[in-house]
Structure 1
Amino acid sequence: MGGLLIVDDEVESREQVRLIVEESQYHYLSISESDTAQRGLLLLKQNRPSIVILDLSLPDMDGIQFGKKVLECNPDVSIIVVTHLKMFEMVQTVINTGFSGYLLKPLSKFELISALDRLLIPDLVKETTKETNYVRNAVSSSKPFELDLGNPIQSVISYIHTNFHEQISLNEVADRVYLSASHFSRLFKAEMGVTFIEYLTKYRVEQSKKLLKMTSLPIEVIANNTGFANASYFATTFKRVEGKTPSEYRSIFSNLLHNNGTG
């Protein structure tokens, strides 16, 4: 098991990460620190850590570019971003670049240890890789609508999967496949076994679950970027579908990882 490299120009932030790790079940990890990208790359080559904890605001290089260089040197390194930036576009960039987590400052011990659990518990490594790939697809940009007149419902399913974060209505998608709303609705239910709204809602909830697992983004940010009108509606819908609130789901998942790591 490799060590841990912290790249952050804030001394207090580096000390906080070090303290959290040293007081956790991962105290055995060797920890190296850097306040610049250039020194970070040097330590990466010298120590070959398995995890890099990275602040995006570095004095000598853009954090995303630094992360790309890290992955070029060693594609197996897991990168956890720790930042003050709450912009969803930044999360998209981080995930699409191949990073493994996005945590917000001020950093909480619970969130950092949960992220390390997800990366370091052997039984969950494959599942983590799957989740990373799923989330990359979940935050992909809108794509042009591709219509297969022989398979209108599957055309709509593909459209949902790439545009779920946008506002989508039954009338809109029915128009896209040149069907009346009522006829499209009947066809969708017959082919998929659920209504159009039920399918769309369930898919959005599934995408939100992946972001709840992988990031520490605020609930309202996740809601706004998975197609829900507001955080309140998101919470109500999520609980109806999953039987628990988004916050409860995030806590339960994190607790499960933590227990697996210490049990």
Structure 2
Amino acid sequence: MAELLIVDNDQLARREICTIVKESKYHFLSIYESSTVQRGLLLLKQSQPSALIIDLSLPDMDGIKFGRTALQLYPSLPVIVATQLKMFELAQDAINSGFSSYLLKPLSKNELIETFDRVLAPEISSELNMGTNKRSGQFLSDIKNPIESTIQYIQMNYGEQLTLKGIADLVYLSPSYFSRLFKEDTGMTFVEYLSFVRVQKAKGMLRLSSLPIEVIANNTGFANSSYFATAFKKIVGKTPSEYREQFHWKSRASLKADSGR
């Protein structure tokens, strides 16, 4: 959904990545940050980002183990390591674990952007096409992991009309127990999470397409454009039109700067 999650307990390192991203052609990415794996896992489940950047020296879990956990949840997620550790064994572990890249700090702007070009651009394009075409993927419920199954189902079918009872039935739980379990695991109610996912998907469409707002509202599961605008402003702080104009203005400013060189 055109989001980037950074899990690194070094605030300066996170700030460096944010600066590189904001000054690049990937400035449209929404960036989430965490200094711990515990918080990072929560953000990962809530937003299911387009890419994950991790340090290997994390305070509450080994970075390799965290990356593997992330890939167990989302097998197609690009995992990018950014670390000061130059040990061959760690790089080999990262590659064998299925990570997408192993970068050394201090980060090179060109190297990071080239990595994004390789692993992130195709992911964003795929997400945009999925949202525009409203295609539903195959879903298999895992009764041992009902909330993970629910998150997967919502990510695949956010454009459909989803209800708490309907989802609870899919994972074989009573609505009341499912509701309590979902809030404990994600930090949000089912309705809050569903709105959050739909708005995040809509943000990507607003940034990366010229689709009318009414069409985006429909494609992301909102009953009408008025309700879409209300939910969007509550979460983002701007209306869909204001949000789109913000990024289109940045694009126009960038083009103007390039033409003046």
Residue 93 of structure 2 corresponds to residue 136 of structure 1 = no
Residue 152 of structure 2 corresponds to residue 158 of structure 1 = yes
Secondary structure, in 3 states, of the residue corresponding to 1:211? helix
Residue 177 of structure 2 corresponds to residue 207 of structure 1 = no
Q: Distance in 1 between matches of 2:211 and 2:165?
A: 32
Q: Distance in 2 between matches of 1:255 and 1:204?
A: 24
**What percentage of residue pairs aligned between the two structures are identical?**
48
Q: Distance in 1 between matches of 2:180 and 2:121?
A: 38
Residue 231 of structure 2 corresponds to residue 237 of structure 1 = yes
1:128 CA displacement: 5.0
AA partner of residue 143 (structure 1): G
Which of 205, 216, 219 is the aligned partner of 1:222?
216
Q: 5+ unaligned residues in a row in structure 1: which ranges?
A: 1-122
Secondary structure, in 3 states, of the residue corresponding to 2:162? coil
Task: Check whether the contact 2:134–2:219 (CA below 8 A) recurs between aligned residues.
Answer: no
AA partner of residue 240 (structure 1): K
AA partner of residue 161 (structure 2): Q
1:130 CA displacement: 4.2
Residue 255 of structure 2 corresponds to residue 256 of structure 1 = no
1:153-203: CA deviation from partner (whole Å, max 9, x where unpaired) = 111111101110000000100011111111001111111111111111111
Which of 141, 160, 165 is the aligned partner of 1:147?
141
1:129 CA displacement: 4.5
Residue 181 of structure 2 corresponds to residue 187 of structure 1 = yes
Q: Distance in 1 between matches of 2:251 and 2:212?
A: 20
| Cα distance, 1:224–1:172 mapped onto 2, change above 3 Å | same
1:140 CA displacement: 4.7
Task: Check whether the contact 2:213–2:240 (CA below 8 A) recurs between aligned residues.
Answer: yes
The higher radius of gyration belongs to 1
Q: Distance in 2 between matches of 1:152 and 1:203?
A: 18
1:211 CA displacement: 1.2
Q: Distance in 2 between matches of 1:176 and 1:260?
A: 47
Secondary structure, in 3 states, of the residue corresponding to 2:231? helix
Structure 1 runs of 4+ with >4 Å offset: 127-130
| Cα distance, 1:148–1:165 mapped onto 2, change above 3 Å | same
Q: Distance in 2 between matches of 1:255 and 1:223?
A: 22
Q: Distance in 2 between matches of 1:246 and 1:166?
A: 20
Matches within 5 A, 1:34-113: none
Q: Distance in 2 between matches of 1:142 and 1:232?
A: 25
Q: 5+ unaligned residues in a row in structure 2: which ranges?
A: 1-112
| Cα distance, 1:210–1:240 mapped onto 2, change above 3 Å | same
